[in-house]
Chains A and B, each alone.
Chain A
Amino acid sequence: MPEVDLAIIGAGPAGMAAAAAAAGGGARVLILDEQPRAGGQIYRNLGAGDDARAYLGPDYFAGRALIAALDGAGIRAEFGATVWRVEPGGRVVWSQGGKSHMATARHVLLAGGAQERPTPFPGWTLPGVMPAGAAQILMKTSGLLPRDAVLAGCGPLLYLIAAQLIEAGAPPRALVETQTPAAMLGAMRHLPGAFAAFPMLFKGVRLIARIVAAGVARHTGASGFNASPTGDGGIVFSFRTGRRAHQLQTPLLLTHQGVVPSTHISRAAGVAHEWNAAQQAFQPKTDDWGATDVNGIHVAGDGAGIGGAEAAQAAGRLAAFDILYRLGRWSADARNQRAAADRAALRRAWAIRPFLDCAYAPAPEILAPEGDTIVCRCEEITAAQIRQSYAEGAIGPRQVKTATRAGMGHCQGRMCDLTTRGILASCGAAPAAPRARSPIKPVTLGELAALAAHQETSS
């Protein structure tokens, strides 16, 4: 007998919105998140009550209502809970406080969100190089502000972080962007379609104006990224714009090439995935409600394809409505009627994507690096080694893994899967999504043994 109607994995915008909607419709909801608080990465630590950080901007504080709604009736929320297995049939297993726990749900909603796209280039493994999003997490959780950082890469998040740093009184030393004027021009054809997202575009333009007004040096069309250590632990960052070579020194190089769906959990659950060429990432196949080909499993939010926080909330609610219908609590008509507002919100939020995906497409040298650039950080496997394995007949991710050990380390391929795919694609292969297996996060043997003992005595 299932203990809950719906188990939601991930308490970011999609998961939180879904929890409130499902509980509102009378479902018993369990929501699990790895972090100590609700919010996901976008509203990370928002519930902690440190409001001195106004520099994070109004969009950050907009998450308050969603977080507050988790206190509603019918919702059990568990934090510090790392889900490592989702079984067909609705059994969810997680690790919390060094122990494993289980629950059975009639429906499961995967709302695990996104991670930053790995950005391999020579020197990206050095202390002193971090993803820009990681620095933002440090701002949100610990009030840590990067000192004289250089921001490098592309995407709207880079502008947001630059503006937040300026606002906080810790302006970056420079903003180095990989997107080219040609990409920008090409993206212009999507602008008419992006009209519905005009407020969002306007926000972006304002951010850029703020950065320029603050006098932050800005380079565009940059390539040939390289980081090397200085004697005192700093970073020398070199790159080219056109034929000009540049060098910047900084204690902290913050890189960004957009975000990609976190798909380990959906892949390990057996959900079918497809390649999204516009976003250069794998994503689970879903219908309009987030339902997947695995009975009882929905996916919503950035984990189903990058759309941002507003799209994620709408998609989370749509999934919850569909689940209420499948639970027999709502008629199809009721579901469809309630969905109208969120469908419109989703359309608005998605309208800007073709423009963003095209204007801020990841740099080719990051997607398919060459030479001694480390691809797999855990096992320290280089691009050349992966290319060599392809030349020797490793045409898919599984063969590359066996031949090189790339993807076999602690992170289970989270930091190299997409790069391996990019390299194989650049060699002419058409690789499928790599497999993922439970446990999708490392679990100690002791914890597994305790769980097995518990299962035996309780069955």
Chain B
Amino acid sequence: MKIASRFLTRPDTTGTVRLTVDGAPFTARAGDTVAAALLAVSGDAFRQTGKGAPRAAYCMMGVCFDCLIEVDGQPNSQGCMTQVRDGMVLRRQHGLRRLSGDEDRA
């Protein structure tokens, strides 16, 4: 999480959820989507495209698929359509993968 969040720090609330991204622990609010939780703590990319370009969540409504991220071992999960859960393990993705998560396309 090298780049500062592009959003203001939220006031502390109860009901925090603990999760990790690429091994680094962070907290989210219950009710956050994975995409919102990541945007709240970091301005970094969610993934890199097949050509190596950085991308982060974009539309926040399930349309663009730029928020694809590995959630609990399931690659290409739509971060903006997935609710956070305690103990969730996130990994940023590099390159293209099949939507089914079965194999790399390249």
Interface residues of A (CB under 8 A from B): 34, 36, 41, 48, 82, 115-116, 125-131, 133-134, 137-138, 141-147, 149, 170, 232-233, 251-252, 262, 377-378, 380, 409-411, 414-415, 441-442, 444-446
Contact A147 to B8, CB < 8 A, known contacts A134-B60, A138-B36, A377-B64: yes
- What is the bound-complex CA distance between A170 and B10, given in angstroms? 12
- Complex interface bits, B48-88 against A, C-beta within 8 A gives 1, otherwise 0: 01110111111111111110100000001000010100000
Q: Are B58 and A130 in contact (CB under 8 A)?
A: yes
Q: Are A134 and B61 in contact (CB under 8 A)?
A: yes
Q: Which of A138, A414, A444 contacts B99 (CB 8 A)?
A: A444
Q: Are A144 and B36 in contact (CB under 8 A)?
A: yes
B18-61 residues with Cβ-Cβ distance < 8 A to A are 29, 31-33, 36-37, 39-40, 43-46, 49-51, 53-61
Residues of B within 8 A of A133 (CB): 59-61
Contact A34 to B62, CB < 8 A, known contacts A145-B7, A410-B68: yes
Residues of A within 8 A of B36 (CB): 138, 141-142, 144
Residues of B within 8 A of A380 (CB): 49-51, 53
Q: Which of A127, A138, A145, A149 contacts B45 (CB 8 A)?
A: A127
User: Which 4 A/B pairs are nearest by Cβ-Cβ distance?
Assistant: A233-B3, A127-B56, A410-B65, A134-B60
Q: Which of B7, B37, B46, B63 contacts A415 (CB 8 A)?
A: B63
Q: Are B6 and A137 in contact (CB under 8 A)?
A: no
B95 within 8 A of A: no
Residues of A within 8 A of B51 (CB): 380
Interface residue tally on B, bucketed by range: 35 or more
B104 within 8 A of A: no
Q: Which of A115, A147, A252, A409 contacts B63 (CB 8 A)?
A: A115
Residues of A within 8 A of B54 (CB): 126-127
Q: Which of A137, A233, A409 contacts B44 (CB 8 A)?
A: A233
Q: Are B59 and A131 in contact (CB under 8 A)?
A: yes
Contact A144 to B43, CB < 8 A, known contacts A138-B60, A444-B99: no
Q: Are B60 and A125 in contact (CB under 8 A)?
A: no
Smallest Cβ distance from A234 to chain B, in angstroms? Answer: 8
Contact A48 to B31, CB < 8 A, known contacts A127-B55, A233-B3, A411-B65: yes
Q: Which of A125, A149, A262 contacts B53 (CB 8 A)?
A: A125
Q: Which of A34, A115, A138, A142 contacts B81 (CB 8 A)?
A: A34
Q: Are A128 and B61 in contact (CB under 8 A)?
A: no
The chain B residue with its CB closest to the CB of A446 is B100
- What is the bound-complex CA distance between A149 and B8, given in angstroms? 11
Residues of B within 8 A of A125 (CB): 53, 55, 66
The chain B residue with its CB closest to the CB of A250 is B6
Residue from the set B36, B51, B68, B102 with the largest chain A CB neighbour count within 10 Å: B36
- What is the bound-complex CA distance between A41 and B60, given in angstroms? 10
Secondary structure of the A contact surface, majority rule:
loop
Contact A128 to B31, CB < 8 A, known contacts A415-B64, A445-B100: no
Residues of A within 8 A of B76 (CB): 410
Additional A-B contacts beyond A142-B33, A262-B63 (10; CB < 8 A): A125-B66, A127-B55, A129-B58, A143-B29, A146-B7, A147-B5, A147-B8, A233-B2, A377-B64, A380-B49
Q: Are A137 and B60 in contact (CB under 8 A)?
A: yes
Q: Are B33 and A251 in contact (CB under 8 A)?
A: no
Q: Name 30 A/B residue pairs within 8 A (Cβ), A-sorted.
A: A41-B61, A115-B61, A115-B63, A125-B55, A127-B43, A127-B46, A127-B56, A130-B60, A133-B59, A134-B59, A141-B32, A141-B36, A142-B32, A142-B36, A142-B40, A144-B7, A144-B8, A144-B36, A146-B8, A233-B4, A252-B6, A252-B7, A262-B63, A380-B49, A380-B51, A409-B65, A411-B63, A415-B63, A442-B99, A446-B100
Q: Are B61 and A142 in contact (CB under 8 A)?
A: no
Contact A141 to B44, CB < 8 A, known contacts A147-B6, A252-B6: no
Residue from the set A34, A144, A146, A232 with the largest chain B CB neighbour count within 10 Å: A144
Residue from the set B5, B37, B66 with the largest chain A CB neighbour count within 10 Å: B66
The chain B residue with its CB closest to the CB of A118 is B64
Residues of B within 8 A of A445 (CB): 100, 102
Q: Are A127 and B8 in contact (CB under 8 A)?
A: no
Smallest Cβ distance from A349 to chain B, in angstroms? Answer: 23
Q: Are A377 and B5 in contact (CB under 8 A)?
A: no
Q: Which of B39, B46, B50 contacts A138 (CB 8 A)?
A: B39
Contact A142 to B49, CB < 8 A, known contacts A377-B66, A444-B100: no
Smallest Cβ distance from B94 to chain A, in angstroms? Answer: 15
- What is the bound-complex CA distance between A144 and B60, given in angstroms? 12
- What is the bound-complex CA distance between A441 and B65, given in angstroms? 10
Residue from the set B3, B5, B57 with the largest chain A CB neighbour count within 10 Å: B3
Smallest Cβ distance from A11 to chain B, in angstroms? Answer: 14
Q: Are B10 and A232 in contact (CB under 8 A)?
A: no
Residues of B within 8 A of A147 (CB): 5-8
Residues of A within 8 A of B3 (CB): 127, 232-233
Residues of A within 8 A of B40 (CB): 142, 144
- What is the bound-complex CA distance between A441 and B76, given in angstroms? 13
Smallest Cβ distance from B88 to chain A, in angstroms? Answer: 15
- What is the bound-complex CA distance between A380 and B81, given in angstroms? 23
